[in-house]
Amino acid sequence: MESSSLDLFVAEVVRSHELATGLKILTSHSEIVAYGQSKGFAFSESDWTEYFKQDLLSQPQHIRDKISSSDSTHWSWAFRQISIWRAMLMEGAGDS
């Protein structure tokens, strides 16, 4: 697993407004992986899936429920997938 590349991608999304803005149109985990790869980060879909699952399991049940029920067509969907990206959202963003 190229965890260092995946960790770097996750951190760079937080650091780079341009990279973060690209998440707004993504609607699936496969698209997140493809986006990261297109920006030069070498990680696989299985790497992402494991990262996502570990992060999800570290969250309280009510947060897991919110993640699983979030609308994948809303601009905030990709940001909701992992905790460090969720922290970038203003409270109430995308909640209805």
The predicted-structure confidence for 62-80, as pLDDT tens digits, reads as follows 999 999 999 999 999 999 9
In a domain, 95, yes or no: no
In a domain, 56, yes or no: yes
Q: Kindly state the tokens that stand for 30.
A: 């496969």
Q: Give the number of domains in the chain.
A: 1
12-41: average pLDDT = 97
pLDDT interval class at 91 (50, 70, 90): low
Look at the chain and count its residues: 96
CA proximity to 59, closest of 23, 87, 95, 94: 87
Q: Kindly state the tokens that stand for 29.
A: 């985990």
Name the residue range of residue 30's domain.
3-86
CA proximity to 67, closest of 51, 54, 42, 86: 86
Which residue type, as a one-letter code, is found at position 94? G
Token pair 């341009």 is found at: 18
pTM of the model: 0.89
Which pLDDT does position 90 carry in this prediction? 76
Which residue type, as a one-letter code, is found at position 62? H
In a domain, 92, yes or no: no
In a domain, 46, yes or no: yes
In a domain, 96, yes or no: no
Digit-coded pLDDT (tens) for 43-62: 999 999 999 999 999 999 99
